[in-house]
Structure 1
């Protein structure tokens, strides 16, 4: 098992443990307080548990090496796990919103605010500890599944704060309807988080190009090699924690295979040193070769810009 696989799995196990602990606490607090906001927080934590299990499955599959049927590896399993989380979050938000509307219409009130607030404070502390570990894992792996889990748990901080506010406003300030209104706000926040997570997961599944900043950084590193001044047909994508890059480069037609191989091998070593999780494929064209006119992805303009700077 690689270091990255170990880290992503540790983050998934930590998420599962945290969700189990918080679900038990919030189940007790919901029964004590009758709070719609607390119920929403409980529902979110229950889905956190299911989503964290899905994340564990996703990162475990993604960590498997390429095989005969999956030559590019299994990295997209992380994106599938993230999409599963999105579905769960959306269903949770719909249920919380419906329950909040019913409570608002019926004018329901909460009780036992002290217990509910205490549970929410404990939940905030446990969630902060989990988020800190997830961010450490993300800095080392860039896992899209762990990032989706991290975004979800960041929203939990707001959810727990909202529960505290709802109980204070309802119990201590006597403002009827505050609790279900906070419940509706929680549902809206969950949907917003689900939208952001879905966009990133779909980008990975659809092999979207790297962000422009990262792509330009690759071109800048490549521009240090004069042999690559004709770099064109650059394609980039990300799958799980792995990056895939390919491009064409023109070399003199009279150059031997061995000479061209030495040049490309040196270039590959340098590029992979700057992008250690990258799988690189370089195609050599003879100088003067003209690509198909319907393929306008030449990077010459970017090289020209770098030369002027």
Structure 2
């Protein structure tokens, strides 16, 4: 079968999502830099650092998505989808660094508190940030319903966290203004830093799963087995292997058929199973090898059972 390609409408949506992400991060950097200069709030500084790293991560995503959408070629027969989890690891590294730096600054400010000035300006900027970020996340979620992009999913994950972060800064500034509890500002910053570190771990874990060719979930593997066995002439199957590469996936298996079947008939059965699996798993390429029933060849790294 021909190499899989991403549907044109999905490709367009993915590109638009990366452009929207870079634009949003750039606008928020300018707004938060102004707010931090006027208020001196370490909580606002934490969101400024986060937005700066968002911009860097979004630029990496823009490159990764453009590269991942490049069709398979002579040197990359399985496509370029691994660019997406590589970008995810880059994002995780950026977020990890920002979390550590923010934690250091927040702990320092906890023991050397400073009064936040012009808190209303900071609150206004945070409200603006929430509106901008919420609109971006909503668009990213829509794109993810059409295109299962690891890079955009990682981007959406930490932008979703930004909505909560910006909300927590509003609470911090409000309580600091009206109660005089200056220790709340660094405490909220520490909580944000911990959230960033958790985000970094989540993104890195999902990216590593794809880079290391982790199998699909057991439910998905069970569906594949059930579909293959649903053909009345399929005796069994073995050596089922699955993996993801960006939006695209690959399924390989060995069908066990009656030993005396003509090659033409065996080919027709394998085609039927292939198309049935592809209908259930869009954007997956299915590779099937036919074996005489009862013959179990040894394949390094493959389980004896499906």
- If the TM-score is normalised by the length of the shorter chain, which range does it land in? over 0.9
- Structure 2: any 5+ residue segments left out of the alignment? 1-6
Query: 1:149 aligns to what?
Result: 155
In the TM superposition, 1:19-34 aligns within 5 A as 19-34=25-40
TM-score by length of 2: 0.94
1:229, CA displacement in angstroms? 3.8
1:293, CA displacement in angstroms? 8.9
For the pair 1:50 / 2:56, whether they are aligned, the reply is yes
Residues 85 and 208 in structure 2, CA contact (< 8 A), matched pair in contact too: yes
- Structure 1: any 5+ residue segments left out of the alignment? 300-309
Residues 234 and 297 in structure 1, CA contact (< 8 A), matched pair in contact too: no
For the pair 1:115 / 2:121, whether they are aligned, the reply is yes
Residues 116 and 182 in structure 2, CA contact (< 8 A), matched pair in contact too: no
Query: 2:270 aligns to what?
Result: 264
For the pair 1:244 / 2:250, whether they are aligned, the reply is yes
- RMSD between superposed Cα atoms in Å: 1.4
1:218, CA displacement in angstroms? 2.1
Residues 235 and 293 in structure 2, CA contact (< 8 A), matched pair in contact too: no
1:92-142 per-position Cα deviation (integer Å, ceiling 9, x unaligned): 111111111121121112111111111111111111111111011111111
In the TM superposition, 1:274-285 aligns within 5 A as 274-285=280-291
For the pair 1:18 / 2:8, whether they are aligned, the reply is no
Query: 2:184 aligns to what?
Result: 178
Secondary structure in 1 aligned to 2:288? strand
In the TM superposition, 1:130-141 aligns within 5 A as 130-141=136-147
The total of aligned residue pairs comes to 299
Secondary structure in 2 aligned to 1:79? helix
1:276, CA displacement in angstroms? 1.4
For the pair 1:206 / 2:212, whether they are aligned, the reply is yes
1:75 to 81, 89, 92: 81
Q: Distance in 2 between matches of 1:221 and 1:265?
A: 13
Query: 1:307 aligns to what?
Result: none
TM-score by length of 1: 0.93
